[in-house]
Structure 1
Amino acid sequence: MRLSSPSSDKFGGFDSPMTEGQFAELTNVSRGTMSDYIAWQQLLLRWNKRINLVAPKSLADFWRRHALDSWQICQFLPEKAANIVDFGSGAGFPAISAAIQCKNIGQGRVLMIESAGKKASFLKQVIRDLGLPADVSSDRIEKIAPLGADVITARAFAPLDRLLEYAAPHSHAATEFILLKGETVEQEIETARDRWTFDYKTVKSVSADSASVLLISNVKTVAPT
């Protein structure tokens, strides 16, 4: 199921915090999946008091800015994707959502790449507590052996041109990219075209008016002239 942007009237507009109930109504996730999102939120609230995982003020709108924003990538995950890699996972956006989806459908595994040790420890705690099919690597992406990812995801990791450079050793001809991007997405696409060829589609975000989900496939380097 693919959703259009939520109604401003029904869900309070992009500037208003979303409630847990509104998230459940909009996404129509199962009771078990909702329990995993709630557990993730509670762990984040507890850990964020000790280490700076996310800006504290953003936690007041966890259900829109983090949960919904991350959940929307699940609409685009290929059914047969076995190896999902998330760059710069931070507090798990969108990696934890992808792992919850894999758990829900019984297909796929997520590798979360996060070089900050404390954030990596948080991700490991969430994975253990929620029983997610996922792993964490605290190595820098440049030092990781080729991963052969079926899907690469990221939020606020790097401009597209640099992201594709980081991804090149870890992707194959059929790798699909599902990227959460802000208002500079068109500029990033134009810049990346100097070095890469690819098919792409932008889908309006359901969590922020100026954001989008960028779907990329068939990535190749531009042939020298």
Structure 2
Amino acid sequence: MLSVREAMQPEIREKLDQYHAILKRWQKTINLVSPKTMDDAWSRHFEDSLQLLPHIPEDTQTLWDLGSGAGFPGLVIAISRPDISVNLIESDTRKSAFLSNVSRETLSGNVHVRNDRLEQILNDLPPPDVMTARAFSSLLKIFTMTQAVWELNENIVFVLPKGRNVSVEIDEAETKFQFDFDEKPSTIDDESCILIVSNLRVL
């Protein structure tokens, strides 16, 4: 059976390898990811992001990645799906500079780095088709922070990597919101999952 790396198109693999090399270079001066994950960055960060791809609808045109940080999963998705216009929302100026550098060097013209707080972005961009966020915040906070956006597009889908506390987060979010969800097992971590949320509305 082919590995994730072997199965992907050569040009995509080359761009992700470029991204990996830039990450290693920048990590020396900026704490982009946990230092202890760098030796296994391909699995811990790249493959962890790539596993979201099957859960992003084929007809997706626009995607927001909240609190993009080092670009996982948003920038990996953008490189792998050049047909999607991806907004990477990151308030940290240095991390935004890193994201811009990777998108330039990998010639990823579908990437738009937004160096601002989410609250400012809400009024500047039309609602996306998909939202992603990795290690950003709880479900309740994500839904609350983005309410002004998803109320304008009832078809928004959230594709969110979540950890062992996902059930607690779901219960907490259900005190304020109603939504459909599907938990898909992570292919990287037995204690994690990919949570797909749709039909979000206020109780």
Could you say which residue in structure 2 is the equivalent of 1:3?
A: none
Aligned AA (1:136): V
Aligned AA (2:188): S
| TM-score (norm: length of structure 2) | 0.94
- Report the more deviating stretch, 143-152 or 110-119: 143-152
Q: 1:23·1:63 contact (CA, 8 Å) conserved in 2?
A: no
Could you say which residue in structure 2 is the equivalent of 1:202?
A: 183
Structure 1 residues 60-79: aligned runs within 5 Å: 60-79=39-58
Matched, 1:140 2:117: yes
| TM-score (norm: length of structure 1) | 0.85
Q: Distance in 2 between matches of 1:166 and 1:64?
A: 30
Q: 1:23·1:64 contact (CA, 8 Å) conserved in 2?
A: no
Pick one of 36, 44, 48 that aligns with 2:27: 48
Pick one of 56, 65, 70 that aligns with 1:91: 70
Q: Distance in 2 between matches of 1:98 and 1:161?
A: 24
Q: How far 1:22 moved relative to its partner? A: 4.7
Matched, 1:191 2:177: no
Aligned AA (1:157): F
Q: 1:117·1:138 contact (CA, 8 Å) conserved in 2?
A: yes
Could you say which residue in structure 2 is the equivalent of 1:18?
A: none
Gaps of at least 5 residues in structure 2 are none
Residues 111-157 of structure 1 show CA distances to partners (whole Å, capped at 9, x for unaligned) of 00000000000000111111111101111111221531110001010
Q: Distance in 2 between matches of 1:154 and 1:198?
A: 17
Structure 1 residues 163-182: aligned runs within 5 Å: 163-171=142-150, 172-182=153-163
Q: How far 1:23 moved relative to its partner? A: 4.1
Count of residues in Structure 1 that have an aligned counterpart in Structure 2: 198
- Identical amino acids, percent of aligned pairs: 34
Q: 1:179·1:213 contact (CA, 8 Å) conserved in 2?
A: yes
Q: Distance in 2 between matches of 1:211 and 1:56?
A: 21
Could you say which residue in structure 2 is the equivalent of 1:115?
A: 91
CA RMSD of aligned residues (A): 1.4
Q: Distance in 2 between matches of 1:81 and 1:170?
A: 16
The secondary structure found in structure 2 opposite 1:68 is: helix
Q: Distance in 2 between matches of 1:63 and 1:44?
A: 11
Could you say which residue in structure 2 is the equivalent of 1:128?
A: 104
Dislocated runs of 4+, deviation >3 Å: none
Q: How far 1:101 moved relative to its partner? A: 2.1
The secondary structure found in structure 1 opposite 2:52 is: helix
Gaps of at least 5 residues in structure 1 are 1-9, 11-20
Q: Distance in 1 between matches of 2:90 and 2:126?
A: 15
Aligned AA (1:220): R
- Report the more deviating stretch, 54-63 or 210-219: 54-63
Q: Distance in 1 between matches of 2:58 and 2:4?
A: 23
Q: 1:74·1:97 contact (CA, 8 Å) conserved in 2?
A: no
Pick one of 193, 196, 199 that aligns with 1:218: 199
